[in-house]
Structure 1
Amino acid sequence: MSRSLPAGHLCTIDVLMLTIAAFASYALRLERLDLGEHWRSFVLFAGAAPVVVLMLFGMTRVYAQYWRYASFHEFSLLAWALVCAGIVLEGMVLIGRALFPAIPVVPLSIPPIFVLSALTLTALPRLMMHARFQPSPRRWHRQSGNRALIMGAGEAGAMIVQSMRLARQNNVIVGFVDDNPHKRGVRINGAPVLGDRHDIPRLAAEYQINEVIIAMPSAPGKTIREIVAICERAGVRARIIPGIAELVDGRFSVNHIRDVQIEDLLRRAPIQTDMQAVGRLIRGRRVLVTGGGGSIGSEICRHVLRYEPSDLIILGHGENSVFAIHNELYRWLNTPRGESDSVDGDGQCRSYRTPTLHTVIADIRFSERIHAVFERYRPEIVFHAAAHKHVPLMEANPVEAVTNNVLGTRNLLDAAIVTGVERFVMISTDKAVNPTSIMGSSKRAAELLVHHAAKVSGRAFMAVRFGNVLGSRGSVVWTFKQQIAAGGPVTVTHPEMRRYFMTIPEAVQLVLQAAALGRGGEVFTLDMGEPVKILDLARDMIELSGLQVGRDIDIAFVGLRPGEKLFEELFLPGEQYDRTSHEKIFIARNASRLVPADVLALIADLEEAALSDDTSRTVRLLRLIVQRSQSTPHEDVHGDHTLEPASLRALAVGGS
């Protein structure tokens, strides 16, 4: 028998049992098996009782219960239905006596006795069905398999034993360990309590234990970590069953942390922007996204696709991430949806047209490859999200920062000018303002190239500065989540370090709005409110995970890393910024006036140093470019608008 009996079969058994219960009621009442003159009333009662009981069983959904997994609830429901049936039968007996004196008289004590008899007899097959699927504790204890102790002889531990037995997993629960001395020696679901946490090494050796299953939903994180440490010393695996804590009292264990909502960390309301102008800009155009497999690039692709470009070219260096976003977008395009899923820039619904997706695996550092891609797909709008962004890594690898962030941007701009790209939006960072790091300096140099290209081409080439993007891969939130999941500590560089924060959707909306608002040579940034202390962010994440600082998770200060600043800025001293038509977006319209007149010559020298792997000269030239953009007179090159694209490319590649 692999299943519970069908309701129809159980109903047939109930009719038989209820008939026997009716006879037993009379036999108990009369204290004899020969009913004598009461046979007629017995036949009347035995005919009515099953009908009434089955009706009550139907009304109380007794037959809807799955008796294989029956518990107190199911059997109490059975008892309640029979009590109600007894009341109805008692009422029928009284009414029959008053209105129909000619019918056989049923003794008034029969219905209550029937209820007790019927409860025993109808529960019996259900108990047998339930017991059929419960392995014997002794037999289950002796079977071979993974041998485990359960840490915590409470309700959660009992639930683990029960669920493992029902699932017939290849686990042998040898016993429990619990720090409560009063539980020593007692048995829970057939398994004995053998000791406390300090006995785990001894028990592991004595009983050949393979793992300890921790079932302590209310224990603080430090206690859990102590138990895990004891298990490690004993050479056994410690495991926390996901979901046990929620089943017991709704709490979360250290290794089962709820997903922190990114918006919870902003300390301000998320910013929403008007995307109608973006829809008008993108619809029917060819759009290329570099770094299309990254956190920001992939989100840009998702947003762009909603506005129905004619083509979306996803360019990235990592094949796995590009493969993932392409598959996601392909499934989205091929999922049936209504007209409301296709919204034009004016907010009106349009009939859906399928854009064409293109995936390109390419390294932006290779100029010839990038030019070939641009010539093939002829993009009209480019969102440049490809970059190295980790400050400590770039401090150790300045040549990589330059070749990717600076020369890669230069290659894209060259190709964009030659192939007639109308709008080019480069994603920069607040670390490019008065930079102290290699990464920030490389992004500042890339900004200068964008501004120069905007001047000489007269096109809408612009930069967008981000604060720290919450939730992006490698971000501080990502790092903190890993540290919390591991039990801590959460590492903060300095108690006074502050950063501007934005969400991925905010970042992408800013990029798209910049594409619609920009005329060329500007820098856009989001009004992100006041900068947030990293220490406060760490505390928020710990508390939003259902844990407590100091009790469950510790915070450790590790000191500033090379290239890091305590505070970030959004605009350079010489940049004149103002609000755009969107009150939450700032613009520095004069950013292109801060470009050194000899920027291309400086970039050419920087390229020579980087390609020859001359780290010290690369760093010196990078710092020189940043200094020249902040402290020397700058030359306006508006007259260069008349240059031909080929001349611009030659100028950019050849330096002076």
Structure 2
Amino acid sequence: MTFFQKLGNWYFNKKSLPYWAILFMDILICYLSGILVYWLFYRSAVTTGNILILSKTILFYICFNLIGFKIFHTYSGIIRYSSFIDLRRVGYAMAFSLLIAEVLHYAVYSFGVFVPFRGRQLVGMYLLATLVMWAARIVIKSVYDASFANEGAAKTLIYGIRDGGVALAKNIRSEKPSRFLLKGFISHDKAYKSHLLMGERVYRGDESLRDVIVKEGISTVLVSPLQNQRFRKDSFLQDLLIDSGVKIMMLPETKEWKKGMNVNDLQSVSINDLLPRNEINVDLESVGAMLKGKKILITGSAGSIGSEMVRQIATFAPEAMMLIDQAETPQHDMKLLMKNKFPNVRCNVVLMSISNQARMERLFSEFRPDYVFHAAAYKHVPMMEENPSESIQNNIYGTKVVADLSVKYGVKKFVMISTDKAVNPTNVMGCSKRICEIYTQALNAKLVKEYEANGSKGEIPTQFVTTRFGNVLGSTGSVIPLFEKQIKAGGPVTVTDPKIIRFFMLIPEACKLVLEAGTHGKGGEIFVFDMGEPVKIADLAHRMIQLSGAKDVKIVYTGLRPGEKLYEEVLSNTENTLPSFHEKIRIAKVKEYDFAKVSQAIDALIEESKTYDEMEIVRQMKEIVPEFISKNSVFSSLDVPTADGHRE
């Protein structure tokens, strides 16, 4: 190892150069600058002949420099982290010192012990010293950056150019010490192919990127937050990066990009971040205007959807909230949430089942809600297939109780959370939710007729609105948490069928659309949400295994479960839709039912559920919902197919 290498290691391995060493370097630069300027004017003979008195003169001027250094703290920074601000401080210090020197240098001549410096020589000495001090700091910083600052930094590509990508690149280059070493950009814009940006090459996100990753040793890709949506849709690039063992970092799906965010806001991707979905914009001002100062009742408040509804509604400053759920521990968590995050919102957290009619009546009579958001329901398909009586007593009877009380106590709007499994249901759970839809829609139509028959105009006293959507990311019991658990255990990952697909949506996005639909719904509508592109569950499992880095985890296909569909539908084959107030929300045109007949059939079904005769219970469900055809279930025996595939 050479002397200079040893010297570099000694310095750069220290926390920082001692301030006295920086000060000594600046003094030496000022001294040598004075000697050089004098030599330029008088050449070597005069300079060497007056070296002692010249040195004494320069050192005298350096006293002024020390004043400037002290005032502007030019020696207190860490040189290897020098920035424009540090260079500016040096400039200010030298300018201040020159000003003092210019004022006093005439007086200096009177002592007769100094070499007289002319005004332009004095300016030249200070200007040269300033430039050399700037150069010294830049050189030291450059040497450090080239040799040590990027040691251990991950070689990185940035997905996205223009404002987002460039801002991210500047941010990672300004980090000290560096965690990421920029090696280029990824862009689909053909105009930038092979261009240089910030001194690095712009690459295409195609097959040729594999060679770049290997050649440059790329270990990380940072996704510009402004390109999140495009990246989520680029499954080819995702697979290429994951197969190449590249770590992907992007803004989490739970965060929204805001000005001032930087690389520290990016996180290693989870499967949730990579699922394709469209950005959803909601008119939150209208929602806030509707809910502010109102009394809100939420059923199923401890569930995945219900709890998010609580969080979002609480931000709109309602007068009071009543939260109802029968799950003890999650409901206790909601109580703590309201106490800690929304202490100014008056809130009553109630532990009970919505099918407890007597207590529900008392709660409605005391609380008198303005709006009801009904999210309570049993949702697991296999469990409800095995317990159809419970799906009737909780989902259907519970909905009937809450809906009837909403009418009785003058609730302005009742918003029910339904599911895509209610469309052409193939299982008990989906059919139970379809019956809930039928009941509330028929009840709404009955109220409209009565209201109009009385000669009234305007909005009916209680409006019933239904919202349908598919699976939500992060909900309890969904496939993603299950796959994560199986991968952690070393596999196998169980998928029911290689062809099965599902729609996914973020819980916050789904709840925003529920609030939007609740705000604009006039009553009687079934709102259908645009769920984006469906996801093949087998591909989802494969990608989760790759992202985890786990080895030898296999995927095992177990066969469709009772009542399970290969393809979830959001609309029935016999339904069509109409546009609504929001591009992501459409209005389903569904068959309308007579309330009297529906109510009578549902009452009979509820009574039948108390017998726990599963076959008879499901048979009556199929009578109410003729399109309910059981799949892979013991109840398939109740379906007698005709030539055209319908049930008799």
Out of 292, 300, 309, which is 2:309 matched to? 300
Match of residue 314 from structure 1: 323
Question: 2:30, 2:520 → 1: CA distance?
Answer: 83
In structure 2, the residue matched to 1:63 is 75
How many angstroms apart in 1 are the aligned matches of 2:285 and 2:482? 32
Assess, with a 3 A threshold, how the Cα gap between structure 1 residues 283 and 217 changes in structure 2: closer, same or farther. closer
Secondary structure of 2:526 counterpart: strand
Give the Cα separation in 2 of the matches to 1:364 and 1:317.
8
- Pick closer, same or farther for the CA change 1:286–1:221 going to 2, 3 Å: closer
| Residues 237-283 of structure 1 deviation map (CA, whole Å, 9 limit, x = unaligned) | xxx9x99xxxxxx999x994369558x7225x52535863x566545
SS of 2:54 mapped into structure 1: helix
Q: Deviations over 1:546-604 (max 9, x none)?
A: x8899999994735333221223334566675445666430447533386442211221
Q: What is the alpha-carbon distance in structure 2 between the residues aligned to residue 607 and residue 221 of structure 1? A: 53
Q: Give CA-to-partner distance per residue, 1:598-634, whole Å, 9 cap, x none.
A: 221122111331xxxxxxx3354135313333279xx
**2:379 aligned counterpart, secondary structure:** coil
Structure 1: how far apart are the matches of 2:435 and 2:403? 13
Task: Establish whether residue 607 from structure 1 lines up as the match of residue 610 from structure 2.
Answer: yes
Partner of 1:622: 618
- 1:319 Cα shift? 4.6
TM-score under structure 2 length normalisation: 0.54
1:42 aligns with 2:55: yes
- 3-state DSSP class of the match of 1:266? coil
Give, in whole Å, the separation in 2 of the partners of 1:387 and 1:620: 22
Q: How does 1:480-559 map to 2 (within 5 A)?
A: 482=484, 493-495=497-499, 497-499=501-503, 501=505, 504-514=508-518, 516-519=520-523, 522-528=524-530, 532-535=533-536, 556=555, 558=557, 559=559
Change (3 A) 1:272 1:50: same
Does structure 1 conserve the Cα–Cα contact (< 8 Å) formed by 2:385 and 2:427? Answer: yes
Cα gap change, 1:511 to 1:477, in 2 (>3 Å): farther
1:464 offset after TM fit, Å?
Answer: 1.8
Return the offset for 1:505: 3.1
Identical columns (%): 20
Please state how far the C-alpha of 1:288 moved relative to its aligned partner: 0.6
Which whole-Å CA distance do the structure 2 matches of 1:456 and 1:497 have between them? 38
User: How far did residue 525 of structure 1 move?
Assistant: 1.9
Computed over aligned residues only, the root mean square deviation of the Cα atoms, in angstroms, reads: 6.4
Aligned to 1:471: 473
Q: Check if 1:431 corresponds to 2:421.
A: yes
Distance 1:436 1:5 in 2: 68
Q: 1:63 to 1:528 in 2, by over 3 A?
A: same
SS at match of 2:564: coil
Gaps of 5+ in 1: 27-34, 127-152, 158-214, 226-239, 244-249, 335-353, 610-616, 633-656
Question: Partner of 1:207 in structure 2?
Answer: none
Distance in 2, Cα, partners of 1:223 & 1:370: 57
SS of 1:63's equivalent in the other structure is: coil
**1:570 corresponds to 2:570:** yes
For 1:511 and 1:557, how far apart are their aligned partners in 2? 39
**3-state SS of 1:387 partner:** coil
Of the three residues 389, 404, 416, the one matched with 2:406 is 416
Matched-pair contact (CA < 8 Å) for 2:297–2:372: yes
**Match of residue 366, structure 1, among 348, 351, 356:** 356
Preserved CA contact (<8 Å) 2:381 2:564: yes
Partner of 2:396: 406
The alignment partner of 2:349 has SS state of: strand
Contact 2:295 2:370 survives alignment (8 Å): yes
Q: Is the 8 A contact 1:425 1:462 kept in 2?
A: yes
Q: What's the CA shift for 1:537?
A: 10
Q: Secondary structure at the match of 1:287?
A: strand
**Which whole-Å CA distance do the structure 2 matches of 1:474 and 1:493 have between them?**
21
Q: Deviations over 1:28-73 (max 9, x none)?
A: xxxxxxx9985433322222235447747977x64342x5xx8586
Q: Secondary structure at the match of 1:389?
A: coil
1:585 aligns with 586
Looking at structure 2, the residues matched to 256 and 431 of structure 1 have their Cα atoms a distance apart, in angstroms, of 33
Partner amino acid, structure 1, of 2:306: G
The one-letter amino acid paired with 2:305 is I
1:390 matched to 2:380: yes
Q: Which residue of 2 aligns with 1:645?
A: none
> Using a 3 Å threshold, how does the CA distance of structure 1 residues 16 and 565 change in structure 2: closer, same or farther?
closer
Aligned counterpart for 1:265 among listed residues 267, 272, 276: 276
Match of 1:291 among 284, 287, 300: 300
Distance 1:18 1:58, change over 3 A: same
Quote the Cα distance in structure 2 between the aligned partners of 1:493 and 1:605: 35
Question: Distance between the aligned counterparts of 1:220 and 1:281, measured in 2?
Answer: 46
Give the alignment of 1:101-116 within 5 angstroms: 103-104=114-115
Cα distance, 1:420 vs structure 2? 4.3
Indicate conservation of the 8 Å contact 1:465/1:570, yes or no. no
| Closer, same or farther: CA 64–525 of 1 in aligned 2, 3 Å | farther
Question: What's the CA shift string for 1:479-523, capped at 9, x where partnerless?
Answer: 49947996997958433524375763344433553465343xx34
Asked if 1 retains the 8 angstrom alpha-carbon contact of 2:54 and 2:115, the reply is yes
In structure 2, distance between residues paired with 1:598 and 1:258: 47
1: distance between equivalents of 2:62 and 2:414?
A: 84
Amino acid at match of 2:533: V
Determine helix, strand or coil for the equivalent of 1:592. Answer: coil
Give the 3 Å change call, closer, same or farther, for CA 433–619 of structure 1 in structure 2.
farther
Number of residue pairs the alignment of both structures matches: 472
Q: If the length of structure 1 is used for normalisation, what is the TM-score?
A: 0.53
Q: Name the amino acid aligned to 1:104.
A: V
Q: Secondary structure at the match of 2:298?
A: strand
